[in-house]
Amino acid sequence: MDIVGNVLPQVLKDEATEDKGEMARLQSFVGAIAVADLVKTTLGPKGMDKILKPTGPGQEMTHITVTNDGATILKSMYVENPAAKILIEISKTQDEEVGDGTTTVAVLAGELLREGEKLIQKRIHPQHVIAGWRIARDVALKRLRDISSENDIESQEFHNDLVKIARTTLSSKLITQDRDYFADLCVKAVLRLKGSSNLDYIQIIKLPGGTIRDSYLDDGFILKKQITIGCKRRIENAKILVANTAMDYDKIKIYGTKVKVNSMDKVAEIEAAEKEKMKHKVDKILKYQPTVFVNRQLIYNYPEQLLADSGITVIEHADFEGMERVAAATGAEILSTFDAPERRDSVLGHCDLIEEIMIGEEKMIKFTGCKKNEACTIVLRGSSIHILDEVDRSIHDVLCVLTTTVKNRRVVWGGGNSEMQMAAACEEEAKKVQGKQALAIEAYARALRQIPTIICDNGGYDSAELIQNFNVELQKGNLTFGLNMNDGTIGDMQELGVKECMRVKEQAVMAASEAAELIMRVDDIVKCAPRKRDRA
């Protein structure tokens, strides 16, 4: 009913709902803050993990995930609240763009909205809040860029920076005990890429068994496949032909072809022709004189035997990714036709040694001394597949952060230092701004300061005291100070060697502000009637 008492006709579809004004705002705040609160306990070196259990029937649904990675948690959650979905979305984008800081971005957006809600309760118009946030964001980003430092990519300092960044990233993960070991491992792997950000070249193989400490970086390339029986298990100075071709039987590709014969003899003839066709293909392959033949597709017994007879080691069923990696690592071309043996030298890949190795219980093929030395493999060991999955995610985060750092090169001090400095910058700015926006700028500073506060809280320390002391140190001019979460004190980050990638922080601040602004601007939520699904 409207104000005059007229019955409003139904405008939207049945089951569709519309919330306006305060109700809409309340809904989005509640949703966004709930999501932020859910992941915030995972923040920082003393953050806790979450168990994710899928719902629904079926064998595969019983597989649980234990993780500390914000994006993984948020991605697997099923939420109905639209504002919560926006937070999940930014977390995903953060993951795709820089690979780390996925929890930070969601928590920061949530804290911004929490502050925003308070301002709205003080009857400040959302647009004023947004105006203030925009000023604050620019100030914060400027400060972030100002405090970041850059080292030359070839220098030893840069290398040290990378190790420190890797250590910082790992410190919040499951493998924090072995972070020095893994930091070193990841930095080595990333430096092999020589500035490219193609993480495809770094292969991660997970094998249950052993302890996490048994994980290692292999400078060769490991293919999780087996060498076909009857072939040589160790090939030195290998010439590798990588192919993507049908080696079961060649389908006739011309449309509408049917083989129709009228007698048994003819069947035999065709069969022979087919066999000969395959033989022909094998002959053509042999002209390239490879010593190893890797095919993406299945290889039938007959061609396999022909190849093995010629002393060629055959690897079949290498999947697309595996094949591309082999090709990239050994410098081979992926062939589908075999009519140009004269181009042999340029199409064959080369590596010093191929051998079958055993890792744990499994047989694998290792390529060492490849032509292009960019590829490498990280073999992860651990007592259970859940641990391995989590380690894999952590390593992925680290690799992403490291490649981002290699690209961007700017680093900042960790331990909440950058957030505190940004907050300080916002507060300074707030003093200069006239109008209600200043309140929003202060709120922005408070939200930024929440990040180190939560890190402290998660560690079980007295956050109020620590943050205050921290602030005092910064005021004194000790700009490299930060939280030392091992002892629960304030320490010099320079001594502790805690560094973070500037780009990750930058992206987190940008994305969180954008999302908070987006949610803040909403004053009306229309939910359409859910689509009716017929039960199959």
Partner 1 sequence: MSLAFDDYGRPYIILRDQGQKKRMKGLEAYKSNILAAKAVANTLSSSLGPKGMDKMLVSPDGDVSVTNDGATIVEKMEIQHPTAKLLVELSQSQDAEIGDGTTGVVVLAGKLLEQALTLLDKGIHPLKISDGFDRACDVAIKHLETISEEIDIQANEHEALIQAACTALGSKVVSKRKRELGKIAVTAVLDVADLARRDVNLDLIKIQTKTGGSVEDTRLISGILIDKDMSHPQMPKEVNDARICLLTCPFEPPKPKTKHNINISSAEDYKKLYQQEQQYFVDMVKLVKASGANIALCQWGFDDEANHLLLQNELPAVRWVSGTDVELIAMATGARIIPRFQEITPEKLGKAGCVKEVQFGTSNERMLVIENCQCTKAVTILIRGGSQMIVDEAKRSIHDAICVIRNLIKDNRIVYGGGSAELACAIQVLQYADEVSSVEQYAIRSFADALEGIPCCLADNCGLNPITSVAQAKSRQLKENNPRIGIDCMELGTTDMKEQRIYETLSSKKQQIQLATQVVKMILKIDDVIAPDDY
Marked catalytic residue, from 65, 103, 104, 228: 103
We find the least distance from the C-beta atom of residue 87 to partner 1, in angstroms, to be: 9
Please give the span between the terminal C-alpha atoms of the chain, in angstroms, as a whole number.
Answer: 40
**CB closer to partner 1 out of 8 and 536:** 8
Instruction: State yes or no: is 397 an active-site residue.
Output: yes
We find the least distance from the C-beta atom of residue 476 to partner 1, in angstroms, to be: 33
From residue 216, alpha-carbon distances to 115, 145, 203, 396 in Å are 46, 36, 12, 15
Six-digit token string for 455: 């890190």
Six-digit token string for 284: 């053509």
**CB closer to partner 1 out of 134 and 224:** 134
C-alpha 247/C-alpha 282 separation (Å) is 9
Six-digit token string for 273: 């022709």
Six-digit token string for 228: 């076909």
- Give 293-334 as a DSSP string: EEESS-B-HHHHHHHHHTT-EEE----HHHHHHHHHHHTPPE
User: Would you give the distance in Å from CA 213 to the centre of its chain?
Assistant: 23
We find the least distance from the C-beta atom of residue 48 to partner 1, in angstroms, to be: 26
Q: Give the DSSP H/E element, type plus range, for residue 321.
A: helix 320-330
83 Cβ partners below 8 Å, 6+ apart?
27, 28, 29, 31, 32, 113, 519, 522
**CB closer to partner 1 out of 48 and 261:** 261
**CB closer to partner 1 out of 10 and 55:** 10
We find the least distance from the C-beta atom of residue 85 to partner 1, in angstroms, to be: 5
User: Would you give the distance in Å from CA 17 to the centre of its chain?
Assistant: 37
C-alpha 182/C-alpha 212 separation (Å) is 10
**CB closer to partner 1 out of 105 and 227:** 105
C-alpha 83/C-alpha 72 separation (Å) is 18
Instruction: State yes or no: is 283 an active-site residue.
Output: no
We find the least distance from the C-beta atom of residue 81 to partner 1, in angstroms, to be: 9
Marked catalytic residue, from 100, 218, 389, 397: 397
Q: Is 160 buried (19+), middle (13-18) or exposed (0-12) by CB count in 10 A?
A: middle
Marked catalytic residue, from 69, 95, 100, 161: 69
Residue keyed to tokens 């305060």: 22
**CB closer to partner 1 out of 16 and 153:** 16
**CB closer to partner 1 out of 6 and 475:** 6
**CB closer to partner 1 out of 133 and 182:** 133
Q: What is the DSSP letter of 219?
A: S
Q: 3-class SS at 47? A: coil
**CB closer to partner 1 out of 340 and 464:** 340
We find the least distance from the C-beta atom of residue 436 to partner 1, in angstroms, to be: 10
Are 223 and 322 spatial neighbours (Cβ–Cβ below 8 Å)? Answer: yes
Instruction: State yes or no: is 152 an active-site residue.
Output: no
We find the least distance from the C-beta atom of residue 205 to partner 1, in angstroms, to be: 19
From residue 405, alpha-carbon distances to 99, 398, 408, 409 in Å are 11, 10, 5, 5
Marked catalytic residue, from 41, 42, 65, 102: 102
Instruction: State yes or no: is 168 an active-site residue.
Output: no
C-alpha 227/C-alpha 215 separation (Å) is 24
We find the least distance from the C-beta atom of residue 62 to partner 1, in angstroms, to be: 25
From the list 87, 113, 222, the residue with the least C-alpha distance to 444 is 113
We find the least distance from the C-beta atom of residue 463 to partner 1, in angstroms, to be: 28
Six-digit token string for 215: 């994980």
Contacts 24+ apart (CB under 8 A), 355-359: 355/233, 355/234, 355/235, 356/226, 356/227, 356/233, 356/234, 357/222, 359/205, 359/207, 359/222
Instruction: Tell me the catalytic residues.
Output: 69, 102-103, 397
